[in-house]
């Protein structure tokens, strides 16, 4: 049972990666494309060589050998691209997960979280100040450094007004190095502001992408197995979302109307000379009304069965 669950999860993850890489095209669809392309190459080559040699055996052998070589070379080239694409997808998933986690935390918990990531920047002996201008003070290569953390949504960039107080606090404490960390990004004005002040203070700007890169050096960054759990949860969430959307599209009212209208047409047809016509239309409407009910019932049964299997797998 546990083996089957793991196998099923692997297939789901592979299908997810395939659909992301191929921009929505299903795993089966991508596989069929490859098979069709291989068949086209094989048949084309077979016909060409047969025309030249007039020998079906030789044509078949050469075509099969070429197809094998093509498959091996294509697999090696495509695998490299697939690995690069998977790395990008993983990074995107991790970014979404960590970003949401950081945004949902309290301001103090957020600063504590950032303090743990500073090891990735080679900053040690850290201490949370939790002051207005500076959040954390630590040491990098035996030199003191002040850190300010901004917990902003991705569409809210850190501007010059946000960082002036940080600069003043660094000067007051005679700290020559600084670091600004944000869950969003920085305006060009902020970059120019600290470039002009390089003689007085050396400030590093760390946006969400840079923060993720440094997190890879710490235990905070999710492992491959944790990323796979994120994917499986995303698949479950999407399945629930699709089911809810389908319920909205086919409402209960429209289902009732179809069934009632169909029954009325069948009854009305009995008192008209066109009973056969009314019966056909009536049964069509009733069928249209029953299809969503049957579909929803099957989806619920399948969903419950999958959830039970998942729970059993988790408890094993």
Q: Average pLDDT for residues 233-240, to the nearest whole number? A: 83
- 244 lies in some domain: no
Of 79, 104, 129, the residue at which a domain comes to its end is: 104
User: Are 208 and 158 members of one domain?
Assistant: yes
Give me the pLDDT at residue 296, please: 64
User: Are 24 and 43 members of one domain?
Assistant: yes
- 226 lies in some domain: no
**Given pLDDT bands bounded at 50, 70 and 90, which one contains residue 302?**
low
Q: What are phi and psi of 251, to 5 degrees?
A: -80, 165
Q: Average pLDDT for residues 115-128, to the nearest whole number? A: 88
User: Are 92 and 115 members of one domain?
Assistant: no
pLDDT per position as a tens digit, 145-172:
999 999 999 999 999 999 999 999 999 9
**Given pLDDT bands bounded at 50, 70 and 90, which one contains residue 93?**
very high
User: Is 215 a residue whose pLDDT tops 80?
Assistant: yes
User: Are 96 and 11 members of one domain?
Assistant: yes
Q: Average pLDDT for residues 120-147, to the nearest whole number? A: 89
Of 74, 104, 134, the residue at which a domain comes to its end is: 104
User: Are 4 and 60 members of one domain?
Assistant: yes
Give me the pLDDT at residue 111, please: 92
Higher pLDDT, 273 or 295: 273
- The contacts of residue 287 (CB under 8 Å, 6+ apart) are 262
Q: Average pLDDT for residues 274-284, to the nearest whole number? A: 79
The Cα–Cα gap between 181 and 273 comes to 80
User: Are 3 and 27 members of one domain?
Assistant: yes
Q: Which range (71-80, 158-167, 252-261) has the least confidence?
A: 252-261
Cα torsion 139, 142, 145, 147 to 10°: value is -20
Higher pLDDT, 17 or 249: 17
Give me the pLDDT at residue 246, please: 56
User: Are 185 and 196 members of one domain?
Assistant: yes
Give me the pLDDT at residue 306, please: 47
Give me the pLDDT at residue 193, please: 93
Cα-based distances in Å from 229 to 6, 13, 34, 310: 12, 9, 29, 12
SS3 assignment for the chain: CHHHHHHHHHHHHHHHHHHHHCCCCCHHHHHHHHHHHHHHHHHHHHHHHHHHHCCHHHHHHHHHHHHHHHHHHHHHHHHHHHHHHHHHHHHHHHHHHHHHHHHHCCHHHHHHHHHHHHHHHCCEEEEECCCCCCCEEEEECCEEEEEEEECCCCCCCECHHHHHHHHHHHHHCCCCEEEEEECCCECHHHHHHHHHCCCCCEEEEECHHHHHHHHCCCCCCCCHHHHHHHHHHHHHHHHHHHHHHHHHHCCHHHHHHHHHHHHHHHHHHCCCCCHHHHHHHHHHHHHHHHHHHHHHHHHHHHHHHHHHHHHHHHHC
Q: Which two tokens stand for residue 248?
A: 């909205």
- 35 lies in some domain: yes
- 236 lies in some domain: no
**Given pLDDT bands bounded at 50, 70 and 90, which one contains residue 304?**
very low
Dihedral (CA of 296, 299, 303, 305) sign: positive
Count of domains forming the chain: 3
Q: Which range (22-26, 42-46, 152-156, 176-180) has the least confidence?
A: 22-26
Percentage of the chain beyond pLDDT 70 is 85
Q: Average pLDDT for residues 263-269, to the nearest whole number? A: 82
Owning domain of residue 85: 1-104
Q: Which two tokens stand for residue 250?
A: 């086919």
Contact (Cβ atoms closer than 8 angstroms) between residue 134 and residue 169:
yes
User: Are 184 and 262 members of one domain?
Assistant: no
Q: What is the CATH number of the domain that holds 135?
A: 3.40.1350.10
User: Is 255 a residue whose pLDDT tops 50?
Assistant: yes
- 231 lies in some domain: no
Q: Average pLDDT for residues 282-308, to the nearest whole number? A: 66
Q: Average pLDDT for residues 39-68, to the nearest whole number? A: 88
- 115 lies in some domain: yes
């Amino acid at each position: 049972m546990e083996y089957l669950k793991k196998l099923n999860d692997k297939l789901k993850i592979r299908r997810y990666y395939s659909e992301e890489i191929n921009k929505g095209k299903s795993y089966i669809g991508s596989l069929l494309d490859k098979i069709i392309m291989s068949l086209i190459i094989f048949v084309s080559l077979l016909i060409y060589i047969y025309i030249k040699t007039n020998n079906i055996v030789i044509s078949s052998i050469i075509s099969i050998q070429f197809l094998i070589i093509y498959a091996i070379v294509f697999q090696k080239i495509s695998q490299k691209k697939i690995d690069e694409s998977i790395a990008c997808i993983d990074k995107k998933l991790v970014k979404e997960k960590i970003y949401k986690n950081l945004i949902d935390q309290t301001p103090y918990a957020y600063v504590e979280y950032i303090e743990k990531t500073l090891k990735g920047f080679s900053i040690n002996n850290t201490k949370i100040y939790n002051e207005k201008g500076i959040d954390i003070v630590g040491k990098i290569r035996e030199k003191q450094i002040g850190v300010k953390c901004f917990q902003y949504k991705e569409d809210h960039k850190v501007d010059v007004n946000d960082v002036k107080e940080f600069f003043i606090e660094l000067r007051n404490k005679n700290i020559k190095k600084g670091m600004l960390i944000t869950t969003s990004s920085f305006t060009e004005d902020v970059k120019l502001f600290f470039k002009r002040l390089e003689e007085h203070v050396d400030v590093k700007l760390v946006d969400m992408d840079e923060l993720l890169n440094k997190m890879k050096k710490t235990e905070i960054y999710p492992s491959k197995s944790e990323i796979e759990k994120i994917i499986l949860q995303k698949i479950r969430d999407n399945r629930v979302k699709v089911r809810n959307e389908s319920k909205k599209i086919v409402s209960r009212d429209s289902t009732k109307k179809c069934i009632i209208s169909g029954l009325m047409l069948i009854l009305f047809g009995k008192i008209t000379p066109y009973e056969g016509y009314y019966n056909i239309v009536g049964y069509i409407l009733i069928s249209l009304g029953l299809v969503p009910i049957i579909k929803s019932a099957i989806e619920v049964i399948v969903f419950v069965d999958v959830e039970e299997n998942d729970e059993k797998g988790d408890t094993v």
